[in-house]
Every structure is written in structure tokens, then in C-alpha cells.
Amino acid sequence: MTSTVRVLGIIGRTLAASGCRQFSCSSIQNIKNVADKVWKLGKFNHVAIAVPNLEKATSFYRDVLGAKVSDTHPQPEHGVYTVFVELGNSKIELLHPLGEKSPIVNFLEKNKNGGMHHICLEVSNIHEAIKEVKANNIRTLGNEPKIGAHGKLVMFLHPKDCNGTLIELEEE
């Protein structure tokens, strides 16, 4: 229960930060009840930030803040380059477009300086989690999970159904 409360606290703070002011205790209990039924909501994994200049962003976290950063990795299936910034118990994922058809191109056209793109939450069983969110009228971006940057199955939930926040579910 403690880990569920901790994750739900993160979700609540994230929703509040995105402008959601009607997130009540009963809403938290409903999410907990849904998660406890079929699949387990795990820990907060990372926040992803789309950046127009990957070298500059990597240098900021590594050279100015002193963080440990990964090498740059192309993710062709997702149309992005990724760099992970290690923060102890979580990570920041820096995203940069890989080609003109990258979904990050559109994001950066609207947000010239870059910005928060999505949050990632771990789930114990991604297929059951997808089934459950779809049963609750939450749209997914895609029909089947794909292999993500960590080599695990991922699925994105539509931000219009998630209080304006793009949420990535990643199987533990």
C-alpha cells in the first residue's frame, strides 16, 4: 500500500501541476482500486523533456549540474534520440527528433525551447493495464505496446484523456 500511495501522490502532484484541481481522495481511491484489481501500478520511472539541441541539453545536465548522463541512443521505432540523466531513484529522458517524421518535430515547432513531453509510470503487466485503461475510456496512442528505450514494453495514453499529460506506461 505504501508504494501505491507514493505513486498516487506523484500522480496527484503531476495532475495538480498540469492544472487539474478536482483530483479528490475518492479519485485516488478509484485509481488504487482499479490498479489493485488486475495489475499493479509501480514507481515513477522518468520525466521526458523534448530538446531542440541535444548536445547543449546533455552538457547542461552533465557539466553544469554534475549529473551522470548516458550516451546518445537512436530509437528508430519511436523516431527519437534519447539521453538519460541519472537522478538516483529516477531519471530525466532527453528527447530529440530522429528524422523529419519524428513526433518530437511537431512538439518542438509548438515549443521552440523544448519542454516537458511526458511522464513514465511503471506497471506490473502492461497488457492488463492497457485493457483496464481502455475499459475506462482512456485512449492509447497505438494498438499494441512497443519496445521502449529501456528495452521494455511501453504504451502511451492520450493526453486529452489524462488531464493534459502524455503518460507512458512501461512494464516493470
Interval 116-136 mean pLDDT: 95
Interval 56-73 mean pLDDT: 97
- What CATH number did the domain enclosing 90 receive? 3.10.180.10
Give the gyration radius of the chain's Cα atoms: 16
Q: Residues 46, 84: contact at Cβ < 8 Å? A: yes
Please give the pLDDT value at position 35: 53
Q: What is the mean pLDDT of the chain?
A: 85
- Extended strands (E) in the chain: 41-50, 68-69, 73-75, 80-86, 91-97, 115-123, 146-147, 153-157, 167-171
Q: Is residue 74 part of a domain?
A: yes
pLDDT: which is higher, 19 or 152:
152
Q: Is residue 150 part of a domain?
A: yes
Q: Is residue 57 part of a domain?
A: yes
Residues composing the chain:
172
Q: Is residue 77 part of a domain?
A: yes
Q: Is residue 128 part of a domain?
A: yes
Residue 98 belongs to domain spanning: 42-171
- Give percent above pLDDT 90 in the chain: 70
Please give the pLDDT value at position 88: 86
pLDDT exceeds 80 at position 76: yes
Q: Is residue 119 part of a domain?
A: yes
Which tens digit of pLDDT belongs to each residue from 3-29?
444 444 545 554 555 444 444 455 555
Please give the pLDDT value at position 136: 93
| Count of structural domains within the chain | 1
